Amino acid sequence: MSTRLSKGGRLLDRSKALDFVFNGKRLKGYQGDTLASALLGNDQMLLGRSFKYHRPRGLVASGAEEPNALVHLGQGGRFEPNQRTTTTELYAGAELSSQNHWPSLEFDVGAVNNAFARFLVGGFYYKTFIHPRFAWKHVFEPVIRQSAGLGKAPKEADADHYEQAYDFCDVLIAGGGIAGLQAALVAGQAGKRVILLEQTPYWGGRAPVDGDVIDGRPAADWIAATVADLAKMPNVTLKTRCMAAGVYDHGYILAEERVADHTPGDGRPKKRLWRIRATRIVAATGALERPLSFAGNDIPGVMLASAVRDYVVNWAVSPGDRTVVVTNNDDAYRTAIALKEAGLAVPVILDARASANGPLPTKARAMGIRVEAGKAIAKVKGGKRVTGVAICLQAGEGAVLEEIACDAVAMSGGWSPVVHLWSHCGGKLLWDEAQAMFRPDATKPPTSHDGQALVYAVGAANGHLQATAILPDAAQGAAAAAGVTPSGVAAQAAPSDEAPLEPVWTMPQGAPIQLRSKMWLDYQNDVKVSDVQLAAREGYESVEHTKRYTTLGMATDQGKLSNINGLAVLAQSLNTDIPNVGTTTFRPPYTPVTLGALAGESRGEIFQPLRKTPINDWHLKHNAYMEPVGLWRRAYCYPKGGETHSQAVDREILAVRSGVGLLDASTLGKLIVKGPDAGRFLDMLYTNVMSNLGIGKCRYGLMCTEAGFLTDDGVVIRLDEDTWLCHTTTGGAERIHAHMEDWLQCEWWDWQVYTANVTEQYAQIAVAGPKARKVLEKLGGMDVSAETMPFMTFKEGTLAGLPVRVHRISFSGELSYEIAVPAGHGLALWEALMEAGQEHGIVAYGTEAMHVMRAEKGFIMMGDETDGTVIPQDLNLGWAISKKKADYLGKRGQERTYLASPDRWKLAGFETLDGSVIPDGAYILAPGVNANGQGNVQGRVTSTYYSPTLKKGIAMGLIKGGLSRMGDVVEFSAITGQPIKAKVVDPVFYDKEGEKQNG
């Protein structure tokens, strides 16, 4: 059984016991435990079920590479599935439960899949679900949905908060093992701005566990001294619990810091996403041990040798009383020695190599451990827990020589450098035959904006597995990254001779199918040696295809343990070399990053910027229903009592048409254009002439893209001899300002014109309705009479003591004044107008009333009548296009033959024969069908409303032939029921002569 040893555990604080719960059982751990070590210390080896066959699964690893031991953690708003127990720290009161099983961990119905495993081979999904088509939807999917999925989705909103922060440095070092520390020392001493990130809560990585001796001291002492030295350097930032998740172009790094993951509910952000820009990056990310592929290597109790050593040394947890060690290298002997030193039994070390006579095997033998060279595991015995191993010759086909009882197996198939950060931006790898590993090819690094190397891999990540080589390599890599010549001497580790490993891709070498179909490559996705071999036989030669066909390496661990073993098997099956097969692409993140951290602060009220006008609070106080218009929030209508929105809109319109209403039009874009060439510039920008606009006058104008299509419209006013103010649509302010600057900076840079976006300087209020003038007159301060201020003019002055610019323009068709006032006075003016208008029954009206009134008047709206394919001529706006001008933006575009075609759909009005409202988006039907057998169309509706003024449905739309079709009755499509008959009419439904607005 697994148990907590009475002594040892270098990371534990035994004075701080922590209670926690696993599947309802109260258990005890210590400060310093990971969830994994705490569970193992309580003999919880069985932790979950695999994805496909629901096989029992236990801990395999002790770090980020763990594929099996994922749990549900927390409750309610802090519930999280798929928490990797090996990297999550234990905290008091933690509530854990196992996942992916039903009804219980011990007895799982889904395990029946295991019995049918030979039907669920690689490519099963592809083969099964292609035919018949109906079977997927009705048979397979419901069954698979029931049994698939890792973990449950949280039901409550996340109770925690997250944030992001930015940092910058010359050298970022990922990994706080001895390589990272040595690198930080070199870069720090060179005076560079250094950030050193370590994903775990402690420094030093594996060196203390491996018993390295550095500069004559135990590794732990050297590590403590080095961290203390680094902490004294003001140019070095040290961060633990912070994982560099990905490297992106030009030295951009995303790193996830676990701020309060281990102290839930203390008010700090749970996690923080760092966005770091580094000139150079040092990847000191270490290496991961590989499993061996032998039958039954997935049975709980079979673990990586390094993990077994970690649990014993770091957390004083014995994975088993009797542990068989199986290896193809010397390093695993350290595990046997550590177990023995902890007083545990190691019945045998099975070394697949023909001989094992280096210092470590010799030491093991001297400690009385039986070492069997040339031997292998034929199969592991046991179900939910290892009970023993059957031994065979590695060179043979699995004939059992002997069975040995044990409750744990420590395996080592060699090491793979963690090359993820090297590879994310395109660093290339080479195959190191001697060490049987892919390691960074220093001649083909990822490059940065200057064309120079961006990432320097050092230490184990660079393929150096011994401390003696790691430290100088780290010093050298860091010096190169810092752009300095290596000065001083790197720390020196005591040499430790190790004999070379021998690659072992299947164990035993000649294993028959019965054994190969029980050799797991990918534990989480249940991919076995036999599945990869099958894929190869079926023609999947590319590693990327095999990956997708078998799902090898596609689980949440992203193949950290399985990839190299898998492609080695693939290479063997294809009878080629491993480098010919290559690796799959390494993509960020290195391990999963919480979505909350990626979202950061963008949540709730500050999910996105909501732009608010100076009158916003008034709208909210008066029950406005706010609608999004881009990022702005605008009042759509102001329901009173029990009014529906449409009732409110109708009331607002009738009140404006008969009395007076106020619209908050502050969102309209306002751009100042000034300079000796401003008139000439505006003549290029607008389709009509603006240069001859009189001072004090207003003129409606259209803007087109260079391709000829309408892009914006609005009223332009001339402030003085060389200054104009252009009003744009709400959505157009920033876009049109950028458009102006683009042309001024990049095409007509010798023209003397300046622009300024003053949109937010002013609140703008439309006072519309027959009583509008009376309201303004009551406020007093300036003459707003028809004589001094006729339609399409403006004046500056004061109203109610406030500085204003009053425009006689109208989008409603009524007598209307649009008043601009500095934003800080916006609310005051609005309230003054409301008060002054009370005697006339003044109302606030929203954007929907505005829309309906402009449609009654036949005014077009950007985004309704236009969609990026409509030119002014389509909307009968030829009058706003200058014939005299030699050029304007869009003129040449509009001359293209298909835009000049008489067959284009053009604007007209529509009235249904029965007075009903045409549905939004309806098409005008035409006889016959097109090449695809679809009914022909001859136009579509663009604006359609119920007009409370006219008490019937009104619409505008585009129809082939446009106004020449006047009087025709056409049919609009309806989603349900019969087409709707409507008559083509003039689009101006209200006050065609303009007596009201001109009045």
Partner 1 sequence: MADAVNAQSVSPLGGASFEGFAKVREIGPLGMISLRAKRDVPGLEGAFASLGLALPEQRRITGTTAKGAGWMSPDEYLILVPYAEVSGALANLAQALKGSHHLAVDVSDARAVFRIEGEKAGQVVAKLGPIDVASLAPNELRRSRAAQVAAAVWAEEGGFTLVCFRSVAAYVMGLLTASAAPGAELA
Partner 2 sequence: MLILECPYCGVKAEETELSPGGEAHLKRFGPGSTDEEFEAYMFARKNPKGVHFERWRHAYGCGKWFLAARCTATLEVFGTYPAQVSAPPQALQDKIKAKRPDWKGFQ
Out of 333, 505, 686, 762, which residue is the one contacting partner 1 (CB under 8 A)?
A: 762
- Residue 157: contacted member of partner 2, partner 1, none (CB under 5 to 8 Å, by partner type): none
With binding defined as CB under 8 A, does residue 783 bind partner 1?
no
For residue 607, state whether it binds partner 2 (rule: CB under 8 A). Answer: no
Does the protein bind partner 1 through residue 758 (CB under 8 A)?
yes
Distance CA 920, CA 922 (A): 6
* Residue 161 near residue 270, CB atoms below 8 Å: yes
With respect to partner 2, which residue has the nearer C-beta, 448 or 583? 448
| Binds partner 1 (CB under 8 A): choice among 15, 266, 366, 451 | 266
Residue 194 CA to residue 200 CA, distance in Å, equals 19
**How many residues does this entry show for the chain?**
999
Cis peptide leading into residue 508 (ω within 30°): yes
Q: Is 834 in the site for partner 1 (CB under 8 A)?
A: no
CB nearer partner 2, residue 75 or residue 452: 452
Q: Residue 772 gets which letter from DSSP?
A: H
d(CA 190, CA 487): 9
Nearer to partner 2, 727 or 737 (CB): 737
Q: Which listed option, partner 2, partner 1, none, makes contact with residue 450 (CB within 5 to 8 Å by class)?
A: partner 2
Binding marks (x or -) toward partner 1, 655..674, rule CB under 8 A? -----------------x-x
Residue 823 binding partner 1, by CB under 8 A: yes
In this chain, which of 606, 695, 913, 929 binds partner 1, going by CB under 8 A?
606
Specify whether the CB–CB gap between 635 and 615 falls below 8 A: no
Q: Report the partner that residue 808 touches, choosing among partner 1, partner 2, none (CB closer than 5 to 8 A by kind).
A: none
H or E element in which residue 469 lies: helix 467-482
Of residues 402 and 617, the one with the C-beta less far from partner 1:
617
Q: Rounded to the nearest 5 degrees, what angle is found at the Cα of 27, between the Cα atoms of 21 and 31?
A: 95
Residue 64's contacts (CB-CB under 8 Å, 6 or more residues apart) are: 84, 86, 87, 199, 243, 560, 590, 591
Query: Binding to partner 1 by residue 780, rule CB under 8 A?
Result: no
CA distance 475 to 482: 10
Sole binder of partner 1 in the list 249, 433, 601, 986 (CB under 8 A): 601
Task: Report if residue 285 touches partner 1, rule: CB under 8 A.
Answer: no
Rounded to the nearest whole angstrom, what is the least distance from the CB of residue 250 to partner 2 in the complex? 5
497 phi and psi angles, rounded to 5 deg: -70, 130
Out of 106, 141, 402, 450, the only residue in the binding site for partner 2 (CB under 8 A) is 450
404 binds partner 1 (CB under 8 A): no
| Token representation of residue 147 | 């049994």
CB 594 within 8 A of CB 268: no
**Partner that binds at residue 594, options partner 2, partner 1, none, CB closer than 5 to 8 Å by kind:** none
CB of 886 to partner 2, least distance (A): 6
Range in contact with partner 2 (rule: CB under 8 A) among 502-510, 537-545, 656-664, 734-742: 734-742
Range 353-362, long-range pairs (CB < 8 A, 24+ positions): 353/328, 353/499, 353/501, 353/502, 356/330, 356/499, 357/499, 358/330, 358/497, 358/498, 358/499, 359/496, 359/497, 359/498, 360/330, 360/331, 360/333, 360/334, 360/496, 360/498, 361/330, 361/333, 361/499
801 binds partner 1, rule: CB under 8 A: yes
CB 425 within 8 A of CB 457: no
Which one-letter DSSP state was computed for residue 394? T
Minimum separation from the CB atom of position 127 to partner 2 (A): 38
Q: How far is the CB of 871 from partner 2 (least distance, A)?
A: 14
The site map against partner 1 for 135-174 (x = CB under 8 A) is --------------------------x-xxxxxx------
992 binds, among partner 1, partner 2, none (CB under 5 to 8 A by kind): none
User: How many whole angstroms separate alpha carbon 126 and alpha carbon 275?
Assistant: 40
Distance between CA atoms of 678 and 669, rounded to whole angstroms? 18
10, 14, 262, 268: which one binds partner 1 (CB under 8 A): 268
Tell me if 787 contacts partner 2 by CB under 8 A.
no
Residue 761 touching partner 2 (CB under 8 A)? no
Select from 44-52, 394-402, 785-793, 801-809 the region that touches partner 1 (CB under 8 A): 801-809
E-state strands within 855-934: 905-912, 923-929
Q: Does 347 bind partner 2 (CB under 8 A)?
A: no
Looking only at residues 257 through 296 of this chain, which bind partner 2 when binding is defined by CB under 8 A? 277
In 10 A of CB 449, how many CB atoms?
10
- Residues 6 or more apart whose CB falls under 8 angstroms from that of 227 comprise 181, 203, 238
- Estimate to the nearest angstrom the gap between the alpha carbon of 719 and the chain centroid: 47
Beta bridge partners of 632: 611, 629
Site string for partner 2, 866-905 (x = CB under 8 A): --------------------xx---xxx-xx---------
Match 């949440």 to its residue by tokens.
Answer: 556
Strand 905-912 and strand 669-674: the pairing is unpaired
What would the 3-class secondary structure string for 484-509 be? CCCCCCCCCECCCCCCCCCCCCCECC
Shortest Å distance, C-beta 897 to partner 2:
8
Is residue 735 close enough to count as binding partner 1 by CB under 8 A? no
Give the residues lining the site for partner 2 (CB under 8 A).
248-252, 277, 447-451, 706-707, 738, 741-742, 745-747, 749, 886-887, 891-893, 895-896
Give the residues lining the site for partner 1 (CB under 8 A).
161, 163-168, 193, 237, 260, 266-269, 272, 275, 277, 601-602, 605-606, 608-614, 632, 672, 674-676, 723, 752, 754-756, 758-762, 796-798, 801-805, 822-825, 827-828
